[in-house]
Amino acid sequence: MDIHEFGKTRRKVSIVGLGGEGILRTHGRGQEARKVILEAVQQGITYFDSARVYAGSESYYGSIWPEHPDIRSGIFQTSKSARRDQKGALADLETTLRTMGLDHLDLWQVHDVRTEGDFEAISGPGGALEAFAAAKKAGKVRFIGVTGHHDPAILTRAVREWPVDSVLLPVNPVEAALGGFLDNTLAEARQKGVATIGMKVLGAGHYVMPDLGVTAELLIRFALSQNPTVTIVGCSTPEEVQTLSRLGRNFQPLSKEEQEELIGKFRPYAARLAYYRGTL
């Protein structure tokens, strides 16, 4: 599995990671989730995504890591809190650690920053950013990050002004057509040495259009060709994990011409297809 350095942290992670969607964003499907998680470990994936609000994802991890401390030492476990206040965020962190059976997270992220109101609440007095800084200082989290998929200007501002180690943002042909996340947020993160994590790679499956020659593999290759630190994809079966890991081991970047051809297929419908921006 190819690896990247995670920003300026000196940690190294696989260039593909298991996203928090797919089987992880369910309840009551522990055996299926277990197979997917353990397949990812077997395939050499080290980055594992989750969030406090992602259904049973944290509990699925929590059913595995305490049983396998040897595995835990080699993986990069993340989660997120969508709480905007210090007290609520710290409560989320304690719940996350207890649910996962861990004493620390490798990465804890401010989840889904959308508006100026979000930004001000999080970074103001008593805001969640204080909790994130305190948790990092106390060693309960190794690194802190921010995520967003609604407004590239807000996410770029967070990268610029907050003391984050990473940013999670959408990376797909729709974003290349629309502009904002890939040309502004990604560039700002690179300038600051902040790790970049690509999400919404398949557009929740909406961007996979075999009749137009757009496959999941092609979309993952497109995302990897933008050279984020990590590209995460939610998986529902071990076979999907195998496809993702194969692309992470034998990555062949798309040429500029291939990228432009793919972007062109999405350009006429990009605004409508960017459902996660709240445009639908």
Whether 16 and 45 have beta carbons less than 8 Å apart is answered as yes
Each domain of the chain, given as residue ranges in start order, spans: 3-272
Residue 181 contacts residue 192 (beta carbons within 8 Å): no
Phi, psi (deg, nearest 5) at residue 206:
-70, -25
3-state helix, strand, coil in the chain (%, to 5): 50, 15, 35
pLDDT of residue 36: 98
0.95 surpassed by pTM: yes
Decide: 230 and 248 in contact? Cβ < 8 Å.
Answer: no
CB atoms within 10 A of CB 191: 10
Residue 100's beta-bridge partner residues? none
Domain 3-272, classified CATH 3.20.20.100, yes or no: yes
What confidence score (pLDDT) does residue 73 get? 87
What's the rounded Cα separation, in Å, for the pair 280 and 272?
A: 6
Residues facing residue 18 across a β-bridge: 48, 233
CA-CA distance, 197 to 143, in Å (whole number)? 14
Sole residue written with tokens 């992220």? 109
Quick one: 98 exposed, middle or buried, by C-beta within 10 A (0-12, 13-18, 19+)?
A: exposed
Output the tens digit of pLDDT for each of the chain's 280 residues.
999 999 999 999 999 999 999 999 999 999 999 999 999 999 999 999 999 999 999 999 999 999 999 998 899 999 999 999 999 999 999 999 999 999 999 999 999 999 999 999 999 999 999 999 999 999 999 999 999 999 999 999 999 999 999 999 999 999 999 999 999 999 999 999 999 999 999 999 999 999 999 999 999 999 999 999 999 999 999 999 999 999 999 899 999 999 999 999 999 999 999 999 985 3
